[in-house]
Amino acid sequence: MNLDTFLGLIYFIVTTALMYWQNCILRNQNDIMRAEAGVAVSEPTSRKFKTYWPIFAMGAVMLLTWAAVGFDYYSRHYSFGYDPAMAWNDNKPLERVYPQTFQNESVLLDGKHFIDPIFDNVTFFYQGTAGVQVDNPQFVHHQSGKFTIASTNKVVTQTLIIENVLMEAGGCKTSAIDKGPNSGIFPPAK
C-alpha cells in the first residue's frame, strides 16, 4: 500500500467518524429543541426530512469531495497522454558508455553518450526523455544485419514517421536542428 492510498483511507475513516458524530449531535440538539417546544419526539417521515436536511446536504458534499479526490488520484496516476516522467530532462549529464559492441539487442539511447560504439543488428530505442550523443560510431553492415529505431513516445514515433516519409520522397536527406527558444527559428504560422 503506497502513501497516497494509506492517507486516503485515513481521511475516509476520519471523515466518516466525524459525520456520524455530527449526526448524533444534531439528533440530540433536535430532540432537546423539540422537548423544549413541547413537540413529541417521534415525528412523521415528512418532518424528519425537514429536520435532517443538513445531514443529507453534508452527505452530498462528502460524496462530491470523494469524487473530486478520486478524480485527482486518477489524474495523477494515469496520464491522459502526458506523462511527467517522460518529460525532457536537461539537468542530468549524459551517462558515458565507453567502447562497447552491441549485437542483436535493443539499445536504449535516452541520456547516453556512446563513445566509439560498434552496432551490429540492433534496435535503437528512444523515448525522448533526454538527449543522446554518439561519437565515432561503427555500424556492421551485412545482409542479415538491420538497424531499427523504435519508441513508445507518440511524439518521437510521429517524428520518425515524418522523417521516413521525407527520406522516401526522392531520397531527401534529413537533419536535426535545435529549435530551442533562443534559436531564432519559429514554426510557420497557421
Q: What is the mean pLDDT of residues 161-172?
A: 75
Task: Give the CA angle between residues 77, 74, 130 to the nearest 5°.
Answer: 25
| Distance in angstroms (rounded) separating the CA atoms of residues 49 and 60 | 14
pLDDT number for residue 112: 93
% residues pLDDT > 90 (the chain):
12
Residues 87 and 104: beta-carbon distance below 8 Å: no
Min mean pLDDT across 24-38, 40-54, 126-140 is at 40-54
Task: Indicate the pLDDT class of residue 19, thresholds 50, 70 and 90.
Answer: confident
Task: Indicate the pLDDT class of residue 47, thresholds 50, 70 and 90.
Answer: low
All cell numbers assigned to 130: 533526454
What pTM, to 2 d.p., does this model score? Answer: 0.47
All cell numbers assigned to 42: 417521534
All cell numbers assigned to 166: 521525407
Mean pLDDT of the chain: 77
136: left (phi over 0), alpha (psi -120 to 50) or beta: left
